[in-house]
Amino acid sequence: MVEWLAGNRIRGTSTERTTTTVSTPPTISTDGNYTVLKYTEDGVFIPKGSFNVEYLVIAGGGGGAGHYSGGGGAGGFRTNVSGATSGGGGSAESTYSATAQNYTITIGAGGDGKTIETDIADNGGNSSIVPTSGTSIISIGGGGSAGNTVGSSGGSGGAGRVNQVAGAGTTNQGYAGGVGAGAANYGSGGGGGAGAVGTNGTTSSGSAGGVGVSSSITGTATFYAGGGGGGQ
């Protein structure tokens, strides 16, 4: 298995595998018969032969806007682990067969935040597995949140403020953000998560981001890709 956090993960059951990277090597561990490769920086995965892999690919989350803005959306969540669920309520994706070629691993960074409430924060970066030839797996970066305008769409959507529309999520990757309450000093919405829509703001508080989705791809059940909380 190869794994990315805020980015990428893959998992394979064959002993005929090797990796190389352009920067920091992946963390390698075992889970029963699985070898787990966890990438925290961009790299290259190079199998020695052909075998199926399981992956979890998570994009970078969206940034936060100015004071009391909505929460940033979580990065897109994609997986093909048997019995698991992709973000946005999707089912696990189909079997992925790796062959003896280069698979470029890209880790999406979190989006930059903003200090002025009229600005929209940046979306997170996409994360991906891109083979020299064949099918790519791309998770979309989370939507940036908004101060006085509409939140951005992304893997999960960035939240809005003051009744502004939140950004949408991407099908089978994440959910939309929440909406802010009806006045400038009320609470803003939470960013969308891989497992749920961000909560709408209230007159008394900013709201929670949407929950992430649990995965046991490393051998330990962990929640990933939760949305950011809204400001007050």
Is pLDDT at 3 greater than 50 in this prediction? no
Torsion angle in degrees (nearest 10) through CA of 153, 4, 2, 128: 40
What's the pLDDT score for residue 172? 96
pTM of the predicted protein model: 0.88
Question: Which tens digits make up the pLDDT trace of 181-192?
Answer: 877 678 888 999
Query: 34: pLDDT confidence band, cut at 50, 70 and 90?
Result: confident
Task: Give the per-residue pLDDT at 232.
Answer: 80
Give the burial string for 46-80 (b: 16+ CB within 10 Å, else e): bbeeeeebbbbbbbbbbbbbbebbbbbbbbbbbbb
- Is residue 17 very low, low, confident or very high in pLDDT (cuts 50, 70, 90)? low
Q: Is 115 exposed, middle or buried (0-12, 13-18, 19+ CB in 10 A)?
A: exposed
- pLDDT over threshold 80, residue 18: no
Rounded to the nearest integer, the mean pLDDT of the chain is 86
Split at pLDDT 50, 70, 90, the class of 6 is very low
Residues 69-125: tens digit of each pLDDT: 888 999 999 999 988 999 999 999 999 999 999 999 999 999 999 887 778 899 999
Q: Residue 85: helix, strand or coil by DSSP? A: strand
